[in-house]
């Protein structure tokens, strides 16, 4: 076990160093960047090891897997990020344990979350491709969705979230995301955060202003 946590710690430190280097290379302060470690498919024991290494932000993308881990680890002080596609009928169940929901991509989901008893942070997911199957609201429809979120007292809009397209350089896609983020802040001045960047593209995301990175494989190793 201690051998496993040693190598987990080594991978975590290596990613943290790369984040710091990428931030300073573009004159950004690394402390303004939140690293969310994505633990989907991994057991809750891995999250416990990550917590022992100082990780506080955990990303999960499947319900009920995420909720079961939350219950098993209720003794730890963690921030739970729900980063996946969220079905309307599961929204209220996810809101029981998620502190942050990254995939607000349609009005129906906003409406499903509007009656919840607590205030929850969220990101509006934008689609950087023309393929509707990739998830996220199309940029032209984003302003309307943002209006709807900021009218909803149970939701606190932090900013925008996106996944890089498969058929484009991530840097140019993230540059569009940054422009959309500027547009979003004209509607919701507090919504300045950008959730972007995974194992393969987080350096590009940092260069284009990402404030929240969602990194799995580079830290956890391959998913079981």
Ligand X SMILES: *Cc1c(COP(=O)(O)O)cnc(C)c1O
What is d(CA 106, CA 112) in angstroms, rounded to the nearest whole number?
10
Is 199 a residue that touches ligand X (CB under 6 A)?
Answer: yes
Q: Using the rule CB under 6 A, is 159 a contact of ligand X?
A: no
State how far the Cα of 112 lies from the Cα of 116, in Å rounded to an integer. Answer: 8
Instruction: Measure the CA–CA gap between 29 and 216, rounded to whole angstroms.
Output: 22
Q: Are 109 and 146 in contact (CB under 8 A)?
A: no
Considering only the stretches 1-9, 10-18, 92-100, 196-204, report the one whose residues sit in contact with ligand X under the rule CB under 6 A: 196-204
**Does 55 interact with ligand X (rule: CB under 6 A)?**
no
Apex 190 CA angle, 99 and 23, nearest 5 = 80
Does the footprint of ligand X cover residue 39 (CB under 6 A)? no
State the binding string over 67-96 for ligand X (x if CB under 6 A, else -): ----------------xx------------
CA 54, 101, 164 angle in degrees (round to 5)?
85
Residue nearest to ligand X (CB): 216
What tokens were used for 82?
A: 């729900």
Q: Among the candidate windows 63-71, 126-134, 168-176, 216-224, which touches ligand X by CB under 6 A?
A: 216-224
Residue of 40, 48, 56, 90 that binds ligand X (CB under 6 A): 40
Which window, 24-32, 174-182, 184-192, 194-202, contacts ligand X (CB under 6 A)? 194-202
**Closest C-alpha to 70, from 82, 88, 53, 52:** 82
Distance CA 60, CA 112 (A): 20
**Taking contact as CB under 6 A, which single stretch among the options 6-14, 67-75, 171-179, 212-220 is the one that binds ligand X?**
212-220
Q: Which residues contact 21 (CB under 8 A, 6 or more apart)?
A: none
Among 126, 191, 198, 207, binds ligand X (CB under 6 A): 198
Does 101 bind ligand X (CB under 6 A)? Our answer is no
**Nearest approach, Cβ of residue 19 and ligand X (Å):** 13
Residues 6+ positions from 74 with CB-CB distance below 8 Å: none
Instruction: Give the residue with the Cβ less far from ligand X, 16 or 114.
Output: 16
Residues that bind ligand X (CB under 6 A): 38, 40, 61, 83-84, 163, 198-200, 214-218
């Amino acid at each position: 076990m201690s051998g496993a946590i040693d190598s987990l710690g080594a991978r975590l430190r290596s990613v943290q160093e790369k984040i710091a280097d990428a931030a300073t290379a573009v004159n950004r302060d690394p402390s303004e960047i939140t690293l969310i470690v994505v633990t989907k498919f991994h057991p809750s024991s891995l999250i416990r090891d990550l917590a022992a290494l100082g990780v506080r932000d955990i990303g999960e993308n499947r319900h009920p897997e995420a909720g079961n881990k939350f219950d098993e680890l209720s003794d730890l002080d963690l921030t739970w990020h729900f980063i996946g596609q969220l079905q309307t009928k599961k929204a209220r169940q996810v809101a029981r344990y998620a502190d942050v929901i990254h995939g607000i991509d349609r009005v129906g989901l906003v409406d499903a979350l509007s009656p919840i008893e607590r205030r929850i942070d969220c990101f509006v997911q934008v689609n950087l491709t023309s393929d509707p199957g990739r998830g996220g609201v199309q940029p032209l429809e984003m302003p309307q969705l943002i209006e709807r979120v900021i009218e909803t007292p149970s939701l606190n809009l932090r900013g925008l979230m996106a996944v890089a397209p498969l058929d484009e350089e991530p840097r140019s896609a993230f540059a569009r995301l940054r422009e959309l983020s500027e547009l979003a802040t004209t509607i919701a001045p507090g919504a300045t955060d950008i959730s972007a960047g995974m194992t393969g593209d987080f350096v590009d995301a940092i260069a284009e202003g990402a404030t929240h990175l969602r990194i799995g494989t580079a830290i956890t190793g391959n998913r079981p």
